[in-house]
A and B are shown apart, each in its own frame.
Chain A
Amino acid sequence: MFDNFPLWPDRASTIAGNVDALFIFLIIVSGMMSLLVFSCIIYFAARYRARKGVLAEHIEGSTPLELTWSIIPMFVFAAIFLWGAVVYFQERTPPRDATEVYVVAKQWMWKLEHAEGQREINELHVPVGRDVKLIMTSQDVIHSFFIPAFRLKQDVLPGRYTTLWFRATRPGTYHLFCAEYCGTQHSGMVGSIVVQEPAQYEAWMNTNQNGPLSGTGQQVYAQLGCASCHRSDAPSRGPTLAGVFGSSVRLEDGRTVTADENYIRESILDPGAKIVNGYKPIMPTFQGLVSEEQLNALVAYVKSLSPAKPGEAPAKTASVTEQSNTPAQGSQVE
């Protein structure tokens, strides 16, 4: 509306409208509540102002009134809670077939890598109308990925993945902020989200020089010799990784966990934490041996071994066992 004096943020994602609707509802509800309270206060203050010879009336209280103004707000609050919870569920439940982008935060920049291999810094290109899921981690302190125009925010933590998903609705360039205080240049940790029409986006994507992220992961996998234990054709000293992602894994202690990104990450960095039923805790840790980017590539590779995921070609089984001597090209972006 006003370039220099905006009163409402841009609305550029499917979720933004839902958040705005609830926000407007809350403005109306709280506006009515404050109007009620303030007009009572102002009316009573004027109507019952001290006059000579007029004494205040002694009133003890009223239990029915107390119950009324406890129970009615309770219902109003319950409605707001439910609505807020529904929106939150939408925000926190990524669709299965979303395009994936890996995000590594560090003091004070955002490093982004598309599943297709395209890399960016402090800028993220996304197409209009397609679900995008961000798989995010931090190299150092806690950051927070915040896109006001999408009404979305998620803290980015060291040592684990958090995720965020959205579907952009309007082409344009929008603010990307770090919203969790992270040190000296916290306010410099800003960037842009570039939302493009699909055709433009494809054109931009075609400038990509790198192979897909899962390919990079395959190289890292080979380099680190993972295949000597994790064979793809049959269980070896370690369980086979084909089809693991997204499946339920039975652990030695009887628990069952779903193999998501965090599980795979943890199994690489802290293999002793969750031992798969029937295997010995013999895997060494790779903590400190792989960068966050290499980890992301490994996760993307393991995911590519699960055929359930559409949109990405399942990797050929044979390639897993091959020992490749090619160095992992470009796996360090720093």
Chain B
Amino acid sequence: MSMATIANAPIAERENYLNKHYGVGSWLFTTDHKRIALLYLISITFFFFIGGFFALLIRLELLTPASDLVQPDTYNKLFTMHGMVMVFFFLIPSIPAVLGNFLVPLMIGAKDLAFPRINLLSWYLYIIGGVMMLHCMLTGGVDTGWTFYAPFSTAFTNTKIVEAGLAIFVVGFSSILTGLNFVVTIHRMRAPGMTWSRLPLCVWALYATSIIQLLGTPVIAITVVLVAAERALHLGIFDPKLGGDPVLFQHLFWFYSHPAVYIMILPSMGVVTEIIACFSRKRIFGYSFVAFSSIAIAVFGFLVWAHHMFVAGISLYAALVFSALSYAVAVPSAVKVFNWTATMYKGSIHYDAPMLFAFGFLGLFTIGGLTGLFLAALGIDVHVTDTYFVVAHFHYIMVGGAVMGYMGGMHFWWPKISGRLYPEAWAKLSALIIFIGFNLTFFPQFVLGYLGMPRRYADYSHMPEFQILNVFSTAGSTVLGIGYLLPMVYFLWSMRYGKPATDNPWNAAGLEWKTTSPPPTFNFDEEPIVTWEAYNYDELDAPHDGAPHKQEVPVAR
């Protein structure tokens, strides 16, 4: 590997955020948003593989109708812990806390986030919550489903509800603090000339996300506290035997947990917007419509929670209102898809791995979004809610959409983050494997759901006719697992053996590409002054004489 050692040399000389300080202390007490992003990256990857391991066990159990691999109680704990880990410890922090943390200051030309120490605190809160969740899992776990509906959670199960609830409570504050930090940073720390209308759309999306985190997360915190209080003190908030109302729990829970879906998908939409613009070499079509659709999704997202409850015992008229509002939130999502598509029109489209992930995102998010129209239709929801149709739908959004975007973003900014190029061919292969594996896993579940297979069944030996579709799904999940393991391997490989990245390997617009790869601790050697519009690819690619931005073929291809 002498080539690699030689390749190492120029990188090692330049001072950057990675090599400025060494030692465990320099990481654990860092206030550098980029280092905190990496701390988050390591932590959420750890939880992603735990959650993924649970998913694989779930799929293996469902390979045969009988409950034979694990006991029903174990199965119930598996899907509960899969959901809790993936939602609270992977998806919600994924793009905001890793890519957002890394990119928001760079994209707006700031030295750091507004509150660097609070940023570090938010990671510690995440870790404390994570350790509590791990302890909870290792000492028995929870069997309520990640939705922990009352009164099952408050009066019937004797698993570790309070501990899991407190873990979610703590990690929720980590999410609130990240949101707070982003809102303040985006308002107060934009570089001169970086007006709101020049912000990258990824920043708009993260801004909308942060608002949801700030306003929504306290409600889940209140909810878990009420569950704990009900369990300990028998207050009678949710338990009808004590005069409480179990449907009230569902209102509180979904008031956060529906907007939480937008915490997962909005940042991914932002990332994909950046990728599509770059690899189409074009300004994004309808900038202001894409920007405001993020805000519209965040606002409408707060008004649709009861569409999870159409058969829960809410009134007919409440159901009508929430169904109508759910269609209202579909409009800005559709607008985004149309704008991404239109951006490619008359572009100059490059098929690099991030773009392949973006294509995958478009396909899977579109299917996820369209099946949302089915679920929002009251008459259909009655049949398909709480079946595998719902499971398929939200995985298309939260895994097909959100994780595809996250993977695309990780590949797009990896050269900036690590200073190295990832192996392009392997990355393309991984995008392909994930796309195929994902569809093979989750598409059969739409059919299963319409056939009537309920969610959260450890045992379906009463309906063996569902087996073949489940076999497809399990087969797909192993393919999907390989697709997710691959990037893990080659990203690690590239940190040592990857080709050094130039400052702007994609010749992309955006301030983050105007500093070195990896960036110095304070991001820019001098404060940038922005004099151009966002996505000025026409200027970047224009054949100037003595051009300030030289035309450069992306190195990674």
* A interface residue numbers (CB < 8 A to B): 3-9, 18-19, 22-23, 26, 29-30, 33-34, 37-38, 40-41, 44-45, 48-51, 54-62, 65-66, 69-70, 73-74, 77-78, 80-81, 83-92, 107, 140-142, 144, 146, 148-149, 151-155, 157-160, 162, 175, 177-188, 190, 270, 287
Contacts and interface: CB of A to CB of B under 8 A. Distances in A.
B348 A55 contact: yes
Interface in B123-164: 143-145, 147, 149, 151-152, 156-157
Given A5-B465, A77-B327, A19 B538 contact: no
Interface stretch (B47-55, B210-218, B239-247, B434-442): B239-247
11 contacts: A22-B380, A37-B366, A50-B349, A59-B283, A81-B376, A84-B323, A140-B151, A142-B151, A148-B452, A153-B385, A183-B157
B330 A181 contact: no
A48 B345 CA distance: 7
A107 to B, nearest CB: 8
B459 interface: yes
From A50, A154, A270, name the one whose CB has the most chain B CB atoms within 10 angstroms. A50
B468 interface: yes
B143 to A, nearest CB: 7
A179 B342 contact: no
Contacts of B289: 61, 66
A69 B339 CA distance: 9
A84 B380 contact: yes
B345 A54 contact: no
Nearest to B463: A175
A146 B241 contact: no
Nearest to A143: B152
B241 A50 contact: no
B374 interface: yes
Contacts of B147: 181
Given A90-B379, A186-B457, 5 more contacts: A26-B373, A56-B348, A57-B347, A61-B286, A141-B156
Chain A at the B interface: SS class: mixed
B348 A54 contact: yes
A123 B73 CA distance: 25
Contact of A77 (B319, B330, B465): B330
Contacts of A152: 382-383
A94 B317 CA distance: 16
Given A49-B349, A56-B538, A34 B370 contact: yes
From A61, A74, A287, name the one whose CB has the most chain B CB atoms within 10 angstroms. A61
Given A38-B366, A50-B348, A175-B452, A5 B313 contact: no
A69 B338 contact: yes
Interface in B314-340: 316, 319-320, 323-324, 327, 330-331, 334-335, 337-339
Contact of B327 (A9, A81, A89, A140): A81
Contacts of B475: none
B451 interface: yes
Given A6-B451, A81-B323, A88-B316, A153 B350 contact: no
Nearest to B335: A70
Contacts of A142: 149, 151-152, 246, 312
Interface string B246-289: 11000000000000000000000000000000001111011111
A22 B507 CA distance: 48
Given A77-B331, A80-B373, A144-B311, A175 B462 contact: yes
Given A92-B316, A175-B463, A183-B156, A55 B377 contact: no
The 8 closest A-B pairs by CB, nearest first: A148-B452, A159-B240, A87-B379, A84-B377, A88-B378, A61-B286, A187-B457, A30-B370
B429 interface: no
B346 interface: yes
Interface residues of B, number: 96
A180 B310 CA distance: 13
A84 B379 CA distance: 5
A73 B330 contact: yes
Contacts of A65: 286, 342
A87 B320 CA distance: 12
Nearest to A74: B331
Contacts, number: 282
Given A61-B286, A183-B152, A177 B452 contact: yes
Contacts of A187: 67, 72, 454, 456-460
Contacts of A86: 379
Contacts of A80: 327, 373, 376-377
Contacts of B341: 37, 40-41, 44
Interface in B448-475: 450-452, 454-460, 462-465, 467-469
A18 to B, nearest CB: 7
Contacts of A92: 316
Contact of B456 (A6, A84, A149, A186): A186
A44 B344 contact: yes
Contacts of A81: 323-324, 327, 376-377
Interface of B: 67, 72-73, 76, 143-145, 147, 149, 151-152, 156-157, 240-241, 243, 246-247, 280-283, 285-289, 310-313, 316, 319-320, 323-324, 327, 330-331, 334-335, 337-339, 341-342, 344-351, 359, 362-363, 366-367, 370-371, 373-374, 376-383, 385-387, 447, 450-452, 454-460, 462-465, 467-469, 537-538, 541-542
B348 A190 contact: no
Contacts of B151: 140-142, 158
Contacts of A18: 379
From B334, B383, B465, name the one whose CB has the most chain A CB atoms within 10 angstroms. B383
Nearest to A54: B348
Contacts of B346: 48, 56-57, 59
Nearest to A154: B311
A184 B382 contact: no
Contacts of B157: 183
A87 B378 CA distance: 7
B457 A5 contact: no
A159 B82 CA distance: 31
Nearest to A16: B383
Contacts of B246: 142, 157-159
B379 A22 contact: yes
B240 A158 contact: yes
Nearest to A146: B454
B316 to A, nearest CB: 5
B404 to A, nearest CB: 14
Contacts of A69: 334-335, 338
Given A6-B465, A26-B380, A61-B289, A73 B331 contact: yes
A319 B46 CA distance: 71
Contacts of A83: 377, 379
A88 B373 contact: no
A58 B72 CA distance: 59
B325 to A, nearest CB: 10
B74 to A, nearest CB: 10
A48 B457 contact: no
Contacts of A89: 316
A149 B383 CA distance: 9
A289 B377 CA distance: 42
A190 B67 CA distance: 15
Contacts of B374: 23, 26, 30
Contacts of B312: 142, 155, 157
Given A58-B283, A162-B313, A48 B344 contact: yes
B234 to A, nearest CB: 15
Contacts of B367: 34
Contact of B282 (A23, A30, A56, A186): A56
Contacts of A6: 451, 465
Contacts of B469: 5
Nearest to B325: A81
A66 B335 contact: yes
A41 to B, nearest CB: 6
A56 B537 contact: yes
